[in-house]
Structure 1
């Protein structure tokens, strides 16, 4: 626990009780030397609320400029590590100055405080200074990071920061048979191609579209397999009457285009002795 953190959090005004409770929980778990790294499950248990409610209150604190969330990735395994919560009083909590020094929507301007950086806010209330997918290599094997790479402007900076808490949805898609390249990534590109007003907080938002695309792909593959099997049967056993017809056409001396005789039909003509190899070569049927 950091006395500086809890003292700073206790001075913040204009917060709803539940939001203030989440902020105080973060401050209580702040370590002066290492920072603040509680997972959302722990915050939810301590504050006696659901993870969804915790996420909403964290979003509110971000919008008000009181905290910043920093997603961390293990450089070796590329797996997601616990989120670091940077509180407004910390030295590495950087904010652009706000002309009105207001906390956010419907908030009164805060008084100047030499020990607090809360007054240095930005007018963009949904600003989330979190690294975007540009920081992730395109060839990363992590499906979740590849999904982030695929998303366009329709997935806002804030959405990119909170959606990582639902990465298990992506693994569920893959376990259910969805193909990352053929089903998942195309859906994400299509659904986030343009900016949108609605905030996407979970990968489950795309589940229905991913499953629909998977179903179409599997149906097309099944039809293609049946058609290929039928074609193989026809090619393996060409109709004898048609082969005899081709033999009469070739032996008549008339012009026979090479495309009129398939390789299977050519082999059948030679095997049955209906034409000679020299006749076929003269017609450029090899």
Structure 2
């Protein structure tokens, strides 16, 4: 690695975070004597991104004039070797030619590149062969992912997906709607917290005590709402009631826990009494069933085929059904209730 190279990468401004990480790791792999030629697998592993995403950021760096890529092909085996990355701080650096090649879409200015004859290691053969006649690969070809429809027979088709034609898009880390809702909730809670402090007797612009500063105090107030089930209006109402017996503001949210718990208990008791009152009113408004209705109800049970417990019908009810000729004695014996 080279400290001068990594310092140069850090000083570059206006880059996206991931793009700058790619540039930094390229500079981290730079050797002052031999240059920079990490494999794409190694570079993608260092940056913790996919190879297709890596090629996107490499194109952005190359378009921004911060590096130039020089592909290398072994002259004997015709296999692709790790790309040589010429970084912008190296002496004699010239950006890639923006004029695209008609075959591959990449620039072709090797003739103007002062590194054209020195991009390989000292112990490796020259890596700038003539281009393939079928696809044009071998002379300043682009990233591995930008493969031609008719690949070079020696190199084969790239195994990296083309991000420009990939139909799968990574979802947003946080949907915009949810983020806007979260911001709105934070704004509403800030207004509620200010109203609570005002109800407790704190001035609008006064310096708050340490017990009421920071997120611990706000989180404690949130527990009154989430755990005790108190509404924001109920919390402010209870806080206002505490000022009647305690003219000075409380030392912190914990001093109000007892009052908030009592308010929650009163609300629960009032809710239970309200339910009982509604049930009582409903029961009072409905008259009890008449003897004829009761006899008809139990007779329907006896005459049906559904399960009938023997203790469900009393002897008095059996006599009432027989008197009204709703059932027969044989049916009662058959059902086991007589």
Normalising to structure 1: TM-score of the pair? 0.40
Instruction: Considering Cα pairs closer than 8 Å and 6+ residues apart, tell me whether 1 or 2 has the greater RCO.
Output: 1
